Structure 1
Amino acid sequence: MTDPTSGLLHANRERGAMTFSGWAMLLIALVALFALVGSALSNAGGNGPLWLIGGTPVLVVLFILILRGFYILQPNQAVAILLFGSYRGTDRATGLRWTWPWMSRARISVRANNAISEKLKVNDLRGNPIEIAAQLVWRVTDTAQALFDIDDYRAFVGVQIEAGVRAIGSRYAYDGDEAEVTLRGHHDEVNNALRDELRARLAIAGITVDECGLTHLAYAPEIAGAMLRRQQAEAVVAARAKLVEGAVSMVEMALEQLSARDVVELDDERRAAMVSNLMVVLCGERETQPIVNTGTLYQ
Protein backbone atom coordinates (compact mmCIF):
# COMPACT_ATOMS: atom_id res chain seq x y z
CA MET A 1 0.00 0.00 0.00
CA THR A 2 1.37 3.41 -0.96
CA ASP A 3 0.96 6.56 1.06
CA PRO A 4 0.38 9.42 -1.44
CA THR A 5 1.83 11.93 1.00
CA SER A 6 5.17 10.21 1.31
CA GLY A 7 5.40 7.79 -1.61
CA LEU A 8 6.85 5.10 0.70
CA LEU A 9 5.86 1.45 0.65
CA HIS A 10 4.05 0.30 3.80
CA ALA A 11 5.32 -3.25 4.27
CA ASN A 12 2.86 -5.93 5.36
CA ARG A 13 3.72 -8.03 8.39
CA GLU A 14 2.75 -11.63 8.94
CA ARG A 15 0.33 -12.40 11.77
CA GLY A 16 -1.60 -15.44 12.88
CA ALA A 17 -4.96 -16.21 11.29
CA MET A 18 -8.10 -17.37 13.09
CA THR A 19 -8.57 -20.88 11.70
CA PHE A 20 -9.86 -24.15 13.14
CA SER A 21 -8.90 -27.80 13.26
CA GLY A 22 -10.39 -29.65 10.31
CA TRP A 23 -11.19 -32.78 12.32
CA ALA A 24 -13.89 -31.12 14.42
CA MET A 25 -15.46 -29.61 11.33
CA LEU A 26 -15.23 -32.96 9.58
CA LEU A 27 -17.40 -34.44 12.34
CA ILE A 28 -19.96 -31.67 11.84
CA ALA A 29 -19.87 -32.31 8.08
CA LEU A 30 -20.60 -36.00 8.66
CA VAL A 31 -23.54 -35.15 10.91
CA ALA A 32 -24.89 -32.82 8.23
CA LEU A 33 -24.42 -35.56 5.62
CA PHE A 34 -26.36 -38.12 7.68
CA ALA A 35 -29.12 -35.60 8.24
CA LEU A 36 -29.18 -34.88 4.50
CA VAL A 37 -29.45 -38.58 3.70
CA GLY A 38 -32.27 -38.97 6.21
CA SER A 39 -34.06 -35.99 4.72
CA ALA A 40 -33.72 -37.44 1.23
CA LEU A 41 -35.17 -40.77 2.37
CA SER A 42 -38.06 -38.99 4.06
CA ASN A 43 -38.75 -36.99 0.92
CA ALA A 44 -38.77 -40.20 -1.11
CA GLY A 45 -41.27 -41.89 1.24
CA GLY A 46 -43.36 -38.77 1.75
CA ASN A 47 -44.02 -39.61 5.40
CA GLY A 48 -41.24 -37.78 7.19
CA PRO A 49 -41.69 -34.85 9.59
CA LEU A 50 -42.25 -31.51 7.92
CA TRP A 51 -39.26 -29.85 9.58
CA LEU A 52 -36.97 -32.56 8.22
CA ILE A 53 -38.44 -32.39 4.73
CA GLY A 54 -38.31 -28.58 4.61
CA GLY A 55 -34.76 -28.48 5.98
CA THR A 56 -33.24 -30.34 3.05
CA PRO A 57 -32.12 -27.20 1.14
CA VAL A 58 -30.61 -25.81 4.32
CA LEU A 59 -28.68 -29.03 4.93
CA VAL A 60 -27.39 -29.01 1.35
CA VAL A 61 -26.14 -25.45 1.64
CA LEU A 62 -24.61 -26.17 5.07
CA PHE A 63 -22.81 -29.27 3.80
CA ILE A 64 -21.40 -27.43 0.75
CA LEU A 65 -20.20 -24.50 2.86
CA ILE A 66 -18.45 -26.82 5.31
CA LEU A 67 -16.70 -28.67 2.49
CA ARG A 68 -15.48 -25.42 0.95
CA GLY A 69 -13.70 -24.47 4.17
CA PHE A 70 -11.34 -27.49 4.29
CA TYR A 71 -7.68 -27.34 3.28
CA ILE A 72 -4.55 -29.36 4.07
CA LEU A 73 -1.16 -28.00 5.11
CA GLN A 74 2.05 -30.01 4.83
CA PRO A 75 5.15 -29.31 6.94
CA ASN A 76 6.85 -26.02 5.99
CA GLN A 77 3.83 -24.77 4.12
CA ALA A 78 1.63 -21.82 4.98
CA VAL A 79 -1.69 -20.37 3.85
CA ALA A 80 -2.50 -16.67 3.83
CA ILE A 81 -6.17 -16.01 4.64
CA LEU A 82 -7.94 -13.13 2.87
CA LEU A 83 -11.40 -11.65 3.23
CA PHE A 84 -12.45 -9.87 0.01
CA GLY A 85 -8.83 -9.01 -0.71
CA SER A 86 -7.96 -7.93 2.84
CA TYR A 87 -5.18 -9.86 4.57
CA ARG A 88 -6.51 -11.55 7.74
CA GLY A 89 -3.49 -13.60 8.79
CA THR A 90 -1.37 -16.66 8.00
CA ASP A 91 -1.95 -20.24 9.11
CA ARG A 92 1.19 -22.37 9.58
CA ALA A 93 -0.39 -25.28 11.51
CA THR A 94 0.00 -28.57 9.63
CA GLY A 95 -2.66 -31.17 8.94
CA LEU A 96 -6.36 -30.86 8.11
CA ARG A 97 -7.49 -27.27 8.66
CA TRP A 98 -10.72 -25.33 8.21
CA THR A 99 -11.64 -21.69 7.83
CA TRP A 100 -14.79 -19.82 6.92
CA PRO A 101 -15.83 -20.71 3.37
CA TRP A 102 -16.02 -17.08 2.25
CA MET A 103 -12.35 -16.65 3.11
CA SER A 104 -9.98 -16.98 0.15
CA ARG A 105 -6.64 -18.70 0.61
CA ALA A 106 -3.16 -18.18 -0.91
CA ARG A 107 -0.76 -21.06 -0.40
CA ILE A 108 2.99 -20.42 -0.09
CA SER A 109 5.98 -22.62 0.68
CA VAL A 110 8.37 -21.67 3.48
CA ARG A 111 10.85 -24.42 2.66
CA ALA A 112 14.49 -23.78 1.81
CA ASN A 113 15.23 -23.10 -1.86
CA ASN A 114 18.51 -23.29 -3.72
CA ALA A 115 19.41 -20.89 -6.51
CA ILE A 116 22.49 -20.59 -8.71
CA SER A 117 23.17 -17.43 -10.67
CA GLU A 118 24.40 -17.27 -14.23
CA LYS A 119 28.04 -16.46 -14.95
CA LEU A 120 28.20 -12.69 -14.92
CA LYS A 121 30.91 -10.48 -16.40
CA VAL A 122 31.82 -7.76 -13.91
CA ASN A 123 34.64 -5.23 -13.56
CA ASP A 124 36.43 -5.71 -10.25
CA LEU A 125 37.77 -2.93 -8.03
CA ARG A 126 40.74 -2.35 -10.35
CA GLY A 127 38.58 -2.36 -13.48
CA ASN A 128 39.64 -5.81 -14.67
CA PRO A 129 36.80 -7.80 -16.31
CA ILE A 130 36.07 -11.01 -14.42
CA GLU A 131 33.50 -13.80 -14.56
CA ILE A 132 31.65 -14.52 -11.33
CA ALA A 133 28.72 -16.68 -10.24
CA ALA A 134 27.19 -17.58 -6.87
CA GLN A 135 24.75 -19.97 -5.23
CA LEU A 136 22.54 -19.32 -2.23
CA VAL A 137 20.00 -21.05 -0.01
CA TRP A 138 16.99 -18.84 0.71
CA ARG A 139 13.55 -19.22 2.31
CA VAL A 140 10.47 -17.15 2.99
CA THR A 141 10.23 -15.91 6.57
CA ASP A 142 7.36 -13.43 6.23
CA THR A 143 4.57 -14.74 4.03
CA ALA A 144 2.67 -11.44 4.01
CA GLN A 145 5.62 -9.53 2.56
CA ALA A 146 6.40 -12.25 0.01
CA LEU A 147 2.80 -12.39 -1.25
CA PHE A 148 1.63 -8.80 -1.04
CA ASP A 149 4.70 -6.54 -1.13
CA ILE A 150 6.28 -8.21 -4.18
CA ASP A 151 4.54 -9.07 -7.43
CA ASP A 152 6.53 -12.30 -7.98
CA TYR A 153 8.91 -13.09 -5.13
CA ARG A 154 10.71 -15.89 -7.02
CA ALA A 155 11.51 -13.62 -9.95
CA PHE A 156 12.48 -10.93 -7.44
CA VAL A 157 15.02 -13.31 -5.87
CA GLY A 158 16.62 -14.01 -9.25
CA VAL A 159 17.01 -10.32 -10.07
CA GLN A 160 18.44 -9.45 -6.65
CA ILE A 161 20.94 -12.30 -6.80
CA GLU A 162 22.37 -10.86 -10.00
CA ALA A 163 22.45 -7.34 -8.54
CA GLY A 164 24.11 -8.53 -5.32
CA VAL A 165 26.77 -10.57 -7.12
CA ARG A 166 27.61 -7.61 -9.35
CA ALA A 167 27.89 -5.33 -6.31
CA ILE A 168 30.28 -7.70 -4.51
CA GLY A 169 32.33 -8.34 -7.66
CA SER A 170 32.96 -4.63 -8.15
CA ARG A 171 33.65 -4.02 -4.45
CA TYR A 172 36.81 -6.15 -4.26
CA ALA A 173 39.81 -6.76 -6.48
CA TYR A 174 40.27 -10.19 -8.01
CA ASP A 175 43.79 -10.51 -6.64
CA GLY A 176 46.21 -8.38 -4.64
CA ASP A 177 48.63 -8.33 -1.74
CA GLU A 178 48.03 -10.22 1.51
CA ALA A 179 46.82 -7.15 3.42
CA GLU A 180 44.00 -6.52 0.94
CA VAL A 181 40.73 -8.42 0.95
CA THR A 182 40.41 -10.00 -2.50
CA LEU A 183 37.90 -12.24 -4.23
CA ARG A 184 40.42 -15.02 -4.81
CA GLY A 185 42.22 -15.02 -1.48
CA HIS A 186 39.54 -14.28 1.13
CA HIS A 187 36.60 -16.59 0.53
CA ASP A 188 35.06 -16.33 3.99
CA GLU A 189 35.06 -12.52 4.05
CA VAL A 190 33.65 -12.29 0.53
CA ASN A 191 30.93 -14.87 1.20
CA ASN A 192 29.89 -13.08 4.40
CA ALA A 193 29.73 -9.78 2.56
CA LEU A 194 27.64 -11.39 -0.19
CA ARG A 195 25.24 -12.86 2.36
CA ASP A 196 24.79 -9.50 4.09
CA GLU A 197 24.25 -7.80 0.73
CA LEU A 198 21.59 -10.28 -0.36
CA ARG A 199 19.83 -10.24 3.00
CA ALA A 200 19.51 -6.49 2.82
CA ARG A 201 18.18 -6.65 -0.74
CA LEU A 202 15.68 -9.45 -0.06
CA ALA A 203 14.37 -8.15 3.29
CA ILE A 204 11.63 -6.18 1.51
CA ALA A 205 10.22 -9.49 0.23
CA GLY A 206 10.26 -11.23 3.61
CA ILE A 207 13.07 -13.54 2.47
CA THR A 208 16.26 -14.44 4.30
CA VAL A 209 19.48 -16.03 3.05
CA ASP A 210 20.77 -19.00 5.06
CA GLU A 211 23.91 -19.72 3.06
CA CYS A 212 25.67 -18.38 0.01
CA GLY A 213 29.02 -18.51 -1.71
CA LEU A 214 30.83 -18.04 -4.99
CA THR A 215 30.71 -20.99 -7.38
CA HIS A 216 32.74 -19.51 -10.25
CA LEU A 217 35.50 -16.93 -10.28
CA ALA A 218 37.88 -16.28 -13.15
CA TYR A 219 39.29 -13.54 -15.32
CA ALA A 220 37.32 -12.81 -18.46
CA PRO A 221 38.67 -14.65 -21.54
CA GLU A 222 39.97 -11.48 -23.19
CA ILE A 223 42.48 -10.84 -20.39
CA ALA A 224 42.91 -14.32 -18.92
CA GLY A 225 46.12 -15.00 -20.87
CA ALA A 226 47.71 -11.69 -19.92
CA MET A 227 46.79 -12.10 -16.27
CA LEU A 228 48.20 -15.62 -16.24
CA ARG A 229 51.52 -14.38 -17.62
CA ARG A 230 51.54 -11.62 -15.00
CA GLN A 231 50.95 -14.11 -12.21
CA GLN A 232 53.72 -16.33 -13.58
CA ALA A 233 56.09 -13.35 -13.76
CA GLU A 234 55.26 -12.37 -10.18
CA ALA A 235 55.88 -15.94 -9.05
CA VAL A 236 59.26 -16.03 -10.85
CA VAL A 237 60.32 -12.68 -9.36
CA ALA A 238 59.33 -13.81 -5.87
CA ALA A 239 61.21 -17.09 -6.27
CA ARG A 240 64.35 -15.36 -7.53
CA ALA A 241 64.21 -12.81 -4.72
CA LYS A 242 64.06 -15.64 -2.20
CA LEU A 243 66.90 -17.43 -3.97
CA VAL A 244 69.13 -14.36 -4.00
CA GLU A 245 68.39 -13.69 -0.34
CA GLY A 246 69.47 -17.20 0.57
CA ALA A 247 72.54 -17.07 -1.65
CA VAL A 248 73.76 -13.82 -0.09
CA SER A 249 73.38 -15.32 3.37
CA MET A 250 75.35 -18.42 2.36
CA VAL A 251 78.16 -16.39 0.77
CA GLU A 252 78.38 -14.17 3.84
CA MET A 253 78.52 -17.23 6.09
CA ALA A 254 81.22 -18.83 3.95
CA LEU A 255 83.43 -15.74 4.03
CA GLU A 256 83.01 -15.33 7.78
CA GLN A 257 83.97 -18.95 8.48
CA LEU A 258 86.99 -18.81 6.17
CA SER A 259 88.24 -15.71 7.96
CA ALA A 260 87.47 -17.03 11.44
CA ARG A 261 89.33 -20.32 10.88
CA ASP A 262 92.29 -18.74 9.03
CA VAL A 263 91.82 -21.17 6.16
CA VAL A 264 93.00 -18.68 3.57
CA GLU A 265 93.88 -15.03 3.41
CA LEU A 266 91.72 -13.22 0.86
CA ASP A 267 92.39 -9.77 -0.42
CA ASP A 268 89.66 -7.66 -1.93
CA GLU A 269 90.15 -9.02 -5.45
CA ARG A 270 90.12 -12.67 -4.37
CA ARG A 271 87.14 -12.01 -2.12
CA ALA A 272 85.25 -10.44 -5.04
CA ALA A 273 86.09 -13.41 -7.28
CA MET A 274 84.91 -15.89 -4.64
CA VAL A 275 81.68 -13.97 -4.12
CA SER A 276 81.09 -13.90 -7.87
CA ASN A 277 81.72 -17.64 -8.24
CA LEU A 278 79.51 -18.55 -5.29
CA MET A 279 76.65 -16.37 -6.51
CA VAL A 280 76.85 -17.97 -9.96
CA VAL A 281 76.76 -21.46 -8.45
CA LEU A 282 73.95 -20.72 -6.01
CA CYS A 283 71.73 -18.60 -8.26
CA GLY A 284 72.23 -20.33 -11.60
CA GLU A 285 69.33 -22.26 -13.09
CA ARG A 286 71.68 -24.87 -14.61
CA GLU A 287 74.44 -26.91 -13.11
CA THR A 288 77.81 -25.16 -13.27
CA GLN A 289 80.88 -26.78 -14.84
CA PRO A 290 84.02 -26.26 -12.69
CA ILE A 291 87.25 -25.10 -14.33
CA VAL A 292 90.45 -26.13 -12.61
CA ASN A 293 92.97 -23.30 -12.42
CA THR A 294 96.52 -24.67 -12.41
CA GLY A 295 98.13 -21.30 -12.19
CA THR A 296 97.43 -18.38 -9.94
CA LEU A 297 94.42 -16.11 -9.70
CA TYR A 298 96.37 -13.26 -11.30
CA GLN A 299 97.46 -15.16 -14.40
Structure 2
Amino acid sequence: MINEKNTTAISGYLSFVVLLAGLGLAAYGIYGQSVWLIAIGIVLALVILKGWLVVNPNESAVLILFGSYQGTVRKDGFFWVNPLVVKRTVSLKARNLDGQKIKVNDKLGNPIEIAAVVVWQVRDTAKALFAVDDYSKYVQIQSEAAVRHLANQFAYDNFEDEAAVISLKDGAQQVSGILEKELNDRLAMAGIDVIEARITHLAYAPEIASAMLQRQQATAVVSARRQIVDGAVGMVEMALEKLSEKDIVQLDEERKAAMVSNLLVVLCGERNVAPVVNAGTLYH
Protein backbone atom coordinates (compact mmCIF):
# COMPACT_ATOMS: atom_id res chain seq x y z
CA MET A 1 0.00 0.00 0.00
CA ILE A 2 1.27 3.49 -0.88
CA ASN A 3 2.02 5.74 2.09
CA GLU A 4 2.37 9.49 2.00
CA LYS A 5 5.81 11.01 1.57
CA ASN A 6 6.55 14.70 1.80
CA THR A 7 8.28 16.44 -1.06
CA THR A 8 9.59 19.92 -1.66
CA ALA A 9 9.09 22.21 -4.63
CA ILE A 10 10.96 25.13 -6.15
CA SER A 11 9.86 28.58 -5.12
CA GLY A 12 7.33 30.01 -7.53
CA TYR A 13 8.82 33.48 -7.24
CA LEU A 14 12.12 32.21 -8.68
CA SER A 15 10.23 30.70 -11.60
CA PHE A 16 8.49 34.04 -12.09
CA VAL A 17 11.90 35.60 -12.76
CA VAL A 18 12.57 32.88 -15.35
CA LEU A 19 9.17 33.62 -16.91
CA LEU A 20 10.08 37.27 -17.29
CA ALA A 21 13.37 36.23 -18.86
CA GLY A 22 11.53 34.03 -21.38
CA LEU A 23 9.13 36.80 -22.28
CA GLY A 24 12.07 39.18 -22.66
CA LEU A 25 13.82 36.68 -24.93
CA ALA A 26 10.70 36.40 -27.08
CA ALA A 27 10.41 40.20 -27.26
CA TYR A 28 14.06 40.47 -28.27
CA GLY A 29 13.45 37.82 -30.97
CA ILE A 30 10.58 39.86 -32.30
CA TYR A 31 12.75 42.96 -32.35
CA GLY A 32 15.58 41.08 -34.06
CA GLN A 33 13.21 39.09 -36.25
CA SER A 34 14.63 35.82 -34.94
CA VAL A 35 12.11 32.99 -35.12
CA TRP A 36 14.23 30.73 -32.90
CA LEU A 37 14.47 33.26 -30.10
CA ILE A 38 10.73 33.87 -30.28
CA ALA A 39 9.99 30.12 -30.14
CA ILE A 40 12.42 29.50 -27.29
CA GLY A 41 11.04 32.40 -25.28
CA ILE A 42 7.39 31.32 -25.73
CA VAL A 43 8.11 27.65 -24.93
CA LEU A 44 10.04 28.69 -21.82
CA ALA A 45 7.15 30.89 -20.66
CA LEU A 46 4.59 28.14 -21.25
CA VAL A 47 6.70 25.61 -19.31
CA ILE A 48 6.95 28.02 -16.38
CA LEU A 49 3.21 28.75 -16.42
CA LYS A 50 2.30 25.06 -16.64
CA GLY A 51 4.44 24.22 -13.59
CA TRP A 52 3.05 26.80 -11.20
CA LEU A 53 1.49 25.40 -8.04
CA VAL A 54 -0.42 27.29 -5.33
CA VAL A 55 -1.06 25.49 -2.03
CA ASN A 56 -3.52 27.17 0.29
CA PRO A 57 -3.43 26.86 4.10
CA ASN A 58 -4.77 23.51 5.37
CA GLU A 59 -4.49 22.03 1.89
CA SER A 60 -1.97 19.77 0.17
CA ALA A 61 -1.02 18.92 -3.39
CA VAL A 62 -0.42 15.31 -4.44
CA LEU A 63 2.03 15.03 -7.36
CA ILE A 64 1.69 12.20 -9.92
CA LEU A 65 4.13 11.74 -12.81
CA PHE A 66 3.15 9.26 -15.54
CA GLY A 67 1.07 7.24 -13.08
CA SER A 68 3.76 7.20 -10.38
CA TYR A 69 3.24 8.90 -7.02
CA GLN A 70 5.98 11.49 -6.54
CA GLY A 71 5.04 12.93 -3.12
CA THR A 72 2.83 15.44 -1.37
CA VAL A 73 3.45 19.15 -0.89
CA ARG A 74 1.93 20.12 2.48
CA LYS A 75 3.59 23.50 2.95
CA ASP A 76 1.36 26.34 1.84
CA GLY A 77 2.71 28.89 -0.61
CA PHE A 78 3.61 29.52 -4.25
CA PHE A 79 5.75 26.84 -5.95
CA TRP A 80 6.92 25.49 -9.28
CA VAL A 81 7.02 21.80 -10.14
CA ASN A 82 7.64 19.66 -13.19
CA PRO A 83 5.03 20.78 -15.76
CA LEU A 84 4.38 17.14 -16.70
CA VAL A 85 3.24 16.35 -13.16
CA VAL A 86 -0.47 15.94 -12.46
CA LYS A 87 -1.40 17.99 -9.39
CA ARG A 88 -4.35 16.89 -7.22
CA THR A 89 -5.44 19.05 -4.31
CA VAL A 90 -6.52 17.34 -1.06
CA SER A 91 -8.04 19.36 1.77
CA LEU A 92 -6.60 18.80 5.25
CA LYS A 93 -9.40 20.68 7.02
CA ALA A 94 -11.66 19.03 9.57
CA ARG A 95 -15.02 18.12 8.06
CA ASN A 96 -18.42 17.32 9.52
CA LEU A 97 -20.50 14.37 8.40
CA ASP A 98 -24.05 14.83 9.64
CA GLY A 99 -25.43 11.33 9.25
CA GLN A 100 -29.00 10.69 8.20
CA LYS A 101 -31.47 9.01 10.54
CA ILE A 102 -31.45 5.27 9.92
CA LYS A 103 -33.77 2.58 11.24
CA VAL A 104 -32.07 -0.43 12.82
CA ASN A 105 -32.75 -3.04 15.49
CA ASP A 106 -31.01 -2.71 18.84
CA LYS A 107 -29.51 -5.62 20.80
CA LEU A 108 -32.97 -6.78 21.96
CA GLY A 109 -34.50 -6.54 18.50
CA ASN A 110 -36.44 -3.34 19.08
CA PRO A 111 -36.58 -1.07 16.00
CA ILE A 112 -34.99 2.30 16.73
CA GLU A 113 -33.97 5.43 14.81
CA ILE A 114 -30.39 6.56 15.24
CA ALA A 115 -28.09 9.16 13.68
CA ALA A 116 -24.56 10.37 14.40
CA VAL A 117 -22.26 13.25 13.54
CA VAL A 118 -18.64 12.49 12.66
CA VAL A 119 -15.78 15.01 12.60
CA TRP A 120 -12.93 13.76 10.40
CA GLN A 121 -9.91 14.89 8.41
CA VAL A 122 -7.40 13.43 5.98
CA ARG A 123 -4.20 12.26 7.66
CA ASP A 124 -2.48 10.41 4.79
CA THR A 125 -3.15 11.98 1.38
CA ALA A 126 -1.66 9.07 -0.57
CA LYS A 127 -3.97 6.51 1.07
CA ALA A 128 -6.96 8.83 0.67
CA LEU A 129 -6.42 9.09 -3.09
CA PHE A 130 -5.04 5.68 -3.99
CA ALA A 131 -6.38 3.20 -1.40
CA VAL A 132 -10.09 3.92 -1.99
CA ASP A 133 -12.10 5.13 -4.94
CA ASP A 134 -13.73 8.19 -3.31
CA TYR A 135 -12.62 8.87 0.25
CA SER A 136 -15.51 11.22 1.05
CA LYS A 137 -18.06 8.62 -0.04
CA TYR A 138 -16.05 5.96 1.78
CA VAL A 139 -16.31 7.92 5.05
CA GLN A 140 -20.07 8.29 4.60
CA ILE A 141 -20.72 4.60 3.92
CA GLN A 142 -18.41 3.32 6.65
CA SER A 143 -19.90 5.74 9.17
CA GLU A 144 -23.38 4.42 8.50
CA ALA A 145 -22.15 0.84 8.79
CA ALA A 146 -20.44 1.63 12.12
CA VAL A 147 -23.60 3.24 13.52
CA ARG A 148 -25.66 0.19 12.53
CA HIS A 149 -23.16 -2.14 14.16
CA LEU A 150 -23.14 0.00 17.31
CA ALA A 151 -26.92 -0.12 17.59
CA ASN A 152 -26.86 -3.92 17.26
CA GLN A 153 -24.36 -4.19 20.13
CA PHE A 154 -26.37 -2.38 22.82
CA ALA A 155 -29.95 -2.10 23.98
CA TYR A 156 -31.81 1.20 23.75
CA ASP A 157 -32.14 1.26 27.55
CA ASN A 158 -31.79 -1.15 30.46
CA PHE A 159 -35.50 -1.61 31.20
CA GLU A 160 -35.55 -5.03 29.56
CA ASP A 161 -31.84 -5.81 29.93
CA GLU A 162 -31.18 -4.86 33.54
CA ALA A 163 -27.78 -6.56 33.51
CA ALA A 164 -26.54 -4.26 30.74
CA VAL A 165 -23.74 -1.98 31.91
CA ILE A 166 -23.99 0.31 28.88
CA SER A 167 -27.11 1.30 26.97
CA LEU A 168 -27.53 3.61 24.00
CA LYS A 169 -29.72 6.00 25.98
CA ASP A 170 -27.79 6.27 29.26
CA GLY A 171 -24.20 5.53 28.21
CA ALA A 172 -23.65 8.44 25.83
CA GLN A 173 -19.98 8.98 26.66
CA GLN A 174 -19.02 5.31 26.51
CA VAL A 175 -21.04 4.74 23.35
CA SER A 176 -19.40 7.73 21.63
CA GLY A 177 -15.96 6.40 22.56
CA ILE A 178 -16.76 2.97 21.13
CA LEU A 179 -18.13 4.52 17.93
CA GLU A 180 -15.07 6.73 17.52
CA LYS A 181 -12.69 3.78 17.96
CA GLU A 182 -14.58 1.62 15.46
CA LEU A 183 -14.61 4.42 12.90
CA ASN A 184 -10.86 4.96 13.27
CA ASP A 185 -10.31 1.24 12.69
CA ARG A 186 -12.55 1.23 9.63
CA LEU A 187 -11.12 4.40 8.06
CA ALA A 188 -7.43 3.75 8.77
CA MET A 189 -6.88 2.15 5.35
CA ALA A 190 -8.12 5.36 3.70
CA GLY A 191 -5.77 7.58 5.71
CA ILE A 192 -8.65 9.21 7.60
CA ASP A 193 -8.56 10.29 11.25
CA VAL A 194 -11.82 10.56 13.20
CA ILE A 195 -11.60 13.48 15.63
CA GLU A 196 -15.02 13.03 17.23
CA ALA A 197 -18.11 10.88 16.78
CA ARG A 198 -21.34 11.38 18.72
CA ILE A 199 -24.94 10.20 18.59
CA THR A 200 -27.19 13.11 17.62
CA HIS A 201 -30.56 11.35 17.37
CA LEU A 202 -31.88 8.34 19.24
CA ALA A 203 -35.51 7.29 19.47
CA TYR A 204 -37.75 4.29 19.16
CA ALA A 205 -39.22 3.76 15.71
CA PRO A 206 -42.68 5.36 15.31
CA GLU A 207 -44.48 2.00 15.16
CA ILE A 208 -43.43 1.07 18.72
CA ALA A 209 -42.79 4.49 20.26
CA SER A 210 -46.23 4.69 21.91
CA ALA A 211 -46.00 1.20 23.40
CA MET A 212 -42.48 1.83 24.69
CA LEU A 213 -43.59 5.09 26.30
CA GLN A 214 -46.35 3.26 28.15
CA ARG A 215 -43.86 0.63 29.26
CA GLN A 216 -41.48 3.27 30.58
CA GLN A 217 -44.30 4.99 32.45
CA ALA A 218 -45.43 1.69 33.98
CA THR A 219 -41.87 0.85 34.98
CA ALA A 220 -41.48 4.26 36.61
CA VAL A 221 -44.74 3.81 38.55
CA VAL A 222 -43.71 0.34 39.76
CA SER A 223 -40.29 1.65 40.80
CA ALA A 224 -41.86 4.53 42.72
CA ARG A 225 -44.36 2.21 44.43
CA ARG A 226 -41.55 -0.13 45.42
CA GLN A 227 -39.67 2.73 47.03
CA ILE A 228 -42.79 3.95 48.86
CA VAL A 229 -43.51 0.48 50.22
CA ASP A 230 -39.90 0.00 51.34
CA GLY A 231 -40.03 3.31 53.19
CA ALA A 232 -43.43 2.58 54.73
CA VAL A 233 -42.33 -0.82 56.03
CA GLY A 234 -39.28 0.79 57.59
CA MET A 235 -41.39 3.44 59.29
CA VAL A 236 -43.87 0.85 60.64
CA GLU A 237 -41.00 -1.22 61.98
CA MET A 238 -39.50 1.82 63.66
CA ALA A 239 -42.88 2.80 65.17
CA LEU A 240 -43.38 -0.66 66.67
CA GLU A 241 -39.84 -0.67 68.07
CA LYS A 242 -40.30 2.76 69.69
CA LEU A 243 -43.64 1.78 71.24
CA SER A 244 -42.17 -1.39 72.65
CA GLU A 245 -38.94 0.32 73.79
CA LYS A 246 -40.71 3.10 75.73
CA ASP A 247 -43.48 0.77 76.99
CA ILE A 248 -46.16 3.25 75.94
CA VAL A 249 -48.75 0.60 75.20
CA GLN A 250 -48.91 -3.17 75.27
CA LEU A 251 -50.04 -4.62 71.95
CA ASP A 252 -50.94 -8.21 71.30
CA GLU A 253 -50.44 -9.76 67.87
CA GLU A 254 -53.92 -8.84 66.64
CA ARG A 255 -53.52 -5.17 67.65
CA LYS A 256 -50.07 -5.07 66.04
CA ALA A 257 -51.55 -6.44 62.82
CA ALA A 258 -54.29 -3.80 62.89
CA MET A 259 -51.79 -1.05 63.56
CA VAL A 260 -49.50 -2.22 60.77
CA SER A 261 -52.45 -2.31 58.37
CA ASN A 262 -53.56 1.19 59.29
CA LEU A 263 -50.05 2.64 59.04
CA LEU A 264 -49.45 1.07 55.63
CA VAL A 265 -52.75 2.48 54.37
CA VAL A 266 -51.78 5.94 55.60
CA LEU A 267 -48.22 5.84 54.27
CA CYS A 268 -48.86 4.13 50.92
CA GLY A 269 -52.18 5.73 49.98
CA GLU A 270 -52.32 8.32 47.22
CA ARG A 271 -55.02 10.42 48.91
CA ASN A 272 -55.19 12.08 52.31
CA VAL A 273 -56.57 9.73 54.92
CA ALA A 274 -59.75 10.63 56.82
CA PRO A 275 -59.36 9.35 60.41
CA VAL A 276 -62.16 7.31 61.97
CA VAL A 277 -62.59 7.54 65.75
CA ASN A 278 -63.39 4.18 67.32
CA ALA A 279 -65.41 4.75 70.53
CA GLY A 280 -65.44 1.09 71.44
CA THR A 281 -62.73 -1.53 71.52
CA LEU A 282 -61.06 -3.61 68.87
CA TYR A 283 -63.10 -6.64 69.91
CA HIS A 284 -66.60 -5.06 69.91
- The Cα of 1:90 is off from its aligned counterpart by 0.8
| Aligned pair partner of 1:38 in 13, 28, 38 | 28
- The Cα of 1:38 is off from its aligned counterpart by 2.2
Name the residue aligned to 1:5. Answer: none
Letter in 2 for 1:14: E
Give, in whole Å, the separation in 2 of the partners of 1:74 and 1:169. 40
Q: Could you tell me the TM-score, scaled by structure 2's length?
A: 0.95
- The Cα of 1:271 is off from its aligned counterpart by 0.9
Name the residue aligned to 1:273. Answer: 258
- The Cα of 1:64 is off from its aligned counterpart by 0.8
Name the residue aligned to 1:131. Answer: 113
Name the residue aligned to 2:86. Answer: 104
| Residues 44-193 of structure 1: pairs in structure 2 closer than 5 A | 54-176=36-158, 177=162, 180-193=165-178
Gaps of 5+ in 2: none
Give, in whole Å, the separation in 2 of the partners of 1:53 and 1:131. 73
RMSD: 1.3
Higher alpha-carbon deviation: 93-102 or 27-36: 27-36
Name the residue aligned to 1:15. Answer: 5
Give, in whole Å, the separation in 2 of the partners of 1:104 and 1:241. 73
Give, in whole Å, the separation in 2 of the partners of 1:97 and 1:178. 62
Give, in whole Å, the separation in 1 of the partners of 2:115 and 2:100. 6
Give, in whole Å, the separation in 2 of the partners of 1:179 and 1:170. 13
Q: 1:297 and 2:282 equivalent?
A: yes
| Residues 199-214 of structure 1: pairs in structure 2 closer than 5 A | 199-214=184-199
Letter in 2 for 1:161: S
Deviations 1:157-215 (A, max 9, x none): 11111101001010111111375211011111100110111111111111110011000
Gaps of 5+ in 1: 1-10, 44-51
Please identify runs of 4+ aligned residues in structure 1 that moved more than 6 A. Answer: none
- The Cα of 1:42 is off from its aligned counterpart by 2.3
Give, in whole Å, the separation in 1 of the partners of 2:91 and 2:105. 36
SS at 1:12 equivalent: coil
- The Cα of 1:35 is off from its aligned counterpart by 2.4
Corresponding residue pairs, total: 281
Give, in whole Å, the separation in 2 of the partners of 1:179 and 1:204. 33
